[in-house]
Amino acid sequence: MQYENRIKEVDSLKKEIDKHRPLQPEVLAQLKEYYRIGLTYSSNALEGNSLTETETKVVLEDGITIGGKPVRDHSEALGHSEAYSKLYDCVKDKKITEEQVCEFHRLFYHRMDQEQAGIYRKENVIITGSEFIPPGADKIESLMKEFLNDLVALRQSSHPVEFAARLHLKFVSIHPFIDGNGRTARLLMNLSLMQDGYAITIIPPVVRADYIQAIKAAQVGAREEVSFINFISTMVFESMNDYRRLIKSLKQ
C-alpha cells in the first residue's frame, strides 16, 4: 500500500490541538494512562506478543496474569509500561542521549534477560525475512556514538515528523541490542515527537505488514526512505486525530 505524506495535515491538527493547551492536570493524567495501554499493546503486538489490548490493560492496571498466555508476554507488557513512564521524564530536555536509549531498553528488557538489558549486543545477528544484515557487534559502539552525535544537526534540518521517522529508521538499522530494538525505536520516535509538541503515535498491528515492508525497503534502498517517512507521517496524522478527539471528549 502506498502512503502519502501527511505532514501538512499533521501540522494543521497540531495548531488546532495547541488551542486547547495547556491542558488541565487531570486531563493529562487520563491521556497518559490511555496511551500507556495503547502504546504498550500495539508496540508489543507488532513483535508478536499475544496479549490483546484488553488483556494488556488487565495486566497493567490490575496486576492479574492472563491464563494460557506466556510469561514473556506479561513481562514485555510490564517492561514496556515502565519504559513508557520514563518518556515523561525525558520530554522537557529536548535531546536524546545514550543514557536514555540504554535506560529505555533496560526498563523494557530486564525481566527477559537482566544481563543484556540496556547493554549493546556482543554478537552478530541476522533479521529473518530481510536481505538487510545489521552491522557487526564490533561496530555498534562507534555507530551509536555517530548516530547520537548526528541527531542535533538532523533535528535542525528536518521537520519534527521527518526527524522522528529518520531517528526510528537509523536506530533499527544499527540494531544495537540483542532484542527489543523495534520497541526501543518506537519509544525514541515518540520521545522526539513529544519533545516537539506532538501526540503519542501508535502504529496499529493491522498495518504491521506495511510497516515492516517500509523499513525493509528503506534499509536496502536509500531512495525508499521517503516511503518510510510517508508511512510514519500517516501514523502521526491518525494519532493526532485521535488525540484531538480525546481532548474534546475530556473537556466537555
- For residue 66, what is the domain's CATH number? 1.10.3290.10
Catalytic residue from among 74, 80, 168, 175: 175
| Amino acid occupying residue 121 | R
Query: What's the confidence (pLDDT) of residue 209?
Result: 96
CA-to-CA distance for 238 and 140, rounded, in angstroms? 34
Query: What's the confidence (pLDDT) of residue 130?
Result: 85
Residue 92 lies in a domain: yes
Given a cut of 90, is residue 9 above it in pLDDT?
Answer: yes
Residue 199 lies in a domain: yes
Residue 181 lies in a domain: yes
Instruction: Using pLDDT thresholds of 50, 70 and 90, give the confidence band for residue 220.
Output: confident
Encode pLDDT of 165-190 as tens digits: 999 999 999 999 999 999 999 999 99
Give the residue-averaged pLDDT of 64-86: 97
Given a cut of 70, is residue 77 above it in pLDDT?
Answer: yes
Residue 241 lies in a domain: yes
Query: What's the confidence (pLDDT) of residue 210?
Result: 97
Query: What's the confidence (pLDDT) of residue 129?
Result: 82
Q: Which range has the worst mean pLDDT, 6-10, 89-93, 110-114?
A: 89-93
Residue 50 lies in a domain: yes
Given a cut of 70, is residue 222 above it in pLDDT?
Answer: no
Residue 1 lies in a domain: no
Residue 239 lies in a domain: yes
Specify whether 175 is catalytic.
Answer: yes
Given a cut of 90, is residue 244 above it in pLDDT?
Answer: yes
Q: Which domain holds residue 168?
A: 7-251
Number of structural domains the chain divides into: 1
Encode pLDDT of 10-49 as tens digits: 999 999 999 999 999 999 999 999 999 999 999 999 999 9
Instruction: Using pLDDT thresholds of 50, 70 and 90, give the confidence band for residue 131.
Output: confident
Q: Which of these, 165, 112, 116, 171, lies nearest to 140 by C-alpha position?
A: 171
CA-to-CA distance for 53 and 128, rounded, in angstroms? 26
Task: Report whether 43 contacts 79 (CB < 8 A).
Answer: no
Given a cut of 70, is residue 252 above it in pLDDT?
Answer: no
Residue 56 lies in a domain: yes
